[in-house]
Amino acid sequence: DFTLEETTKVLDLADRIAESPEVYSHVADGKKIATLFYEPSTRTRLSFESAMLSLGGQTLGFSSAAQSSASKGETVADTARVVSCYADIIAMRHPKEGAPLQASIYSRIPVYFVNQEEVGHAHPTQTLIDMMTIRQRKGKLNNLTIGFCGDLKFGRTVHSLVSSLTRFSDNKFYFISPEELRIPDYLRDDVLNPSNSTYEEVSSLED
């Protein structure tokens, strides 16, 4: 949903934080993030908590439904309503589609959806990290030849990154995968072809 200008601003800010973390170590002083994870997660939950701590904020929350009042029958709406009195933002993962959206309706604070189902074919946070890495290594996000290798049919990270990179000029894509794991039709029909992107699909790295 970001414009190119908004995307660039986020990447520029990320670069500044990476280069001078001490400058940003107190920007979230007095702020709290609530990580409400109704299903197990290690990397994702800790990445949110680590980021908040690095910015000077604090964290609270739970890492499974069994550790929450959901085990006693409390609804997502009720949990969100109560937790929004304790924190400034919620990061939430839930096994049921629509649950985080329900939480956002009843919460008084922003709710960030970590659910895979809520974002369909996309993985926006990973895409921003990938774009940041490419720009740091190559100095640009246009006029690049980029190879994607592996599971290209179900890999949300690939779909999301390709969708973003097609908005930059003169990028060429190689999609390397076995026949049964090639990119889905929607990526060709809705993203690559409308943007007049140059791309090739091959089955081996040698090709």
pLDDT along the chain (207 residues), means of 10: 91 95 97 92 90 97 83 89 96 85 93 66 83 96 96 90 95 96 95 96 92
Helix then strand then coil, % of the chain, to nearest 5: 45, 15, 40
- Whole-number Å distance between alpha carbons of 44 and 179: 31
pLDDT of residue 100: 82
- Residue 115 has a pLDDT of 61
**Distance in angstroms (rounded) separating the CA atoms of residues 124 and 128:** 6
Do the Cβ atoms of 46 and 93 come closer than 8 Å?
Answer: no
Please tell me the predicted confidence (pLDDT) of residue 188.
95
Radius of gyration of the chain (CA): 20
pLDDT score, position 179? 93
Catalytic residues: 43-44, 72, 93, 123
Q: pTM value? A: 0.81
Strands across the sheet containing 145-149 = 145-149, 172-176, 198-202
Query: What pLDDT is attached to residue 121?
Result: 61
The answer to whether 174 and 147 are in contact (CB under 8 A) is yes
Q: Give the integer Cα–Cα distance in Å for 184 and 194.
A: 15
